[in-house]
Structure 1
């Protein structure tokens, strides 16, 4: 499964959060698929400039936006402050080490960022540590190669095998626009 050497640059954040993208891909439409409740803690991993963060905060009790780049986190923080949401905090991390307690998170969402993680195995293990026993890992990646020339394409079977090898079970793989939404649940320890 191809991994990019560098994350999407913060200088291109305007491409990730603009009027056209919000029109084409309303955050509310995707977030509704997650079945969030007010008592949930959600991690928006690879939150970038906060495209989904504000909408997640409207549905969950606590949202933790995580990004590798400080500049992306600044943009996300400004966006949440402007929206007036109070239940969001931010962490800078590559995913290998998250400053969150064991079994404290209900859902971790990665929206077209899995391919950017430098060490996906370490991140998947760290996600497993912070997820509650019934926790869900939701990974969205481009899976239709011919539709977006040059996009980092994920082989569905490879992604599923990699994640399941680290203690998850695929519940569903749902087509969504040009993407696949992988809904995994944390397996109980053997």
Structure 2
């Protein structure tokens, strides 16, 4: 990792400091993470995740790595379709929440690993699909994470990313920005006691590349047949690419 500064929200910090601070953010909010997702999106995140998993189209017996899988929302959906899912996250606290949720749902076939998306301790050519939902923008070195995704996928494997972006609907993007800036940190403070972490999350969304730029980054990591599909004009977007 270079010594150049990177953005932690709107603040520029050393790369190692960003990684550490992101870890503290998610440790702080882990226990209320799913509740906050419902409150921030009005429950829409559940529909977005259903649509995303439908796009991934996991099949019985497929080996899938769900990176930044944290509390298991994506992994549970794919496991119910018969996929062999490894849930990876850099944050042990998020994984612990996911394990508890899996136990309550009777999903005992998932694998759970503490992993840094930039330096995966996983073999080359070992997964049929790699998914990451609402996690790539928190990675310190996004190009490195995309290259690692390419490395661990089998030839013919596919990458799918679900992430916030910038809505291109006239007026809607600006309205959401106002809502995010003025409401989400206050709700986060009320629900989790940590408004600062949600201020960071708002800022990280604003700084994430626009859809076409992120698709270009996926191609530069070695993926082919790349594409993206906006949701709500691009407020959220699905991205994909294939290892050919």
Residue pair 2:219, 2:226 contacting (<8 A) in 1 also: no
Distance 1:24 1:156, change over 3 A: closer
Give the unaligned 5+ runs of structure 1.
Answer: none
Which of the residues 124, 134, 144 maps onto 1:112?
Answer: 134
Aligned to 1:53: 75
- The normalised TM-score by structure 1 is 0.85
| d(CA) in 2 for partners of 1:182, 1:107 | 13
Aligned twin of 2:195: none
User: What is the count of residue pairs matched by the alignment?
Assistant: 186
Higher strand share: 1
Matched, 1:161 2:161: no
More deviation, 14-23/135-144: 14-23
The answer as to 2:243 corresponding to 1:186 is: yes
Aligned pair 1:24/2:79, yes or no?
no
Q: Which runs of 5+ in 2 are unaligned?
A: 1-5, 9-17, 168-172, 181-201
Under a length normalisation based on structure 2, what TM-score does the superposition of the two structures give?
A: 0.68
Point out the structure with max Rg over C-alpha.
2
- Whole-Å separation in 2 of the counterparts to 1:137 and 1:3: 25
Pair 1:34 & 2:91 matched: no
* Deviations, residues 33-78 of structure 1 (Å, cap 9, x unaligned): 2211012111111112222221121124311111111111111111
Q: Which residue does the alignment assign to 1:9?
A: 26
Question: Are the equivalent residues in 2 in contact too, given 1:169–1:186 (CA < 8 A)?
Answer: yes
Q: CA 1:15/1:33 → structure 2, altered by over 3 Å: closer, same or farther?
A: farther
- Structure with the larger helix share: 2
Matches of 1:124 and 1:43 in 2, distance apart?
Answer: 13
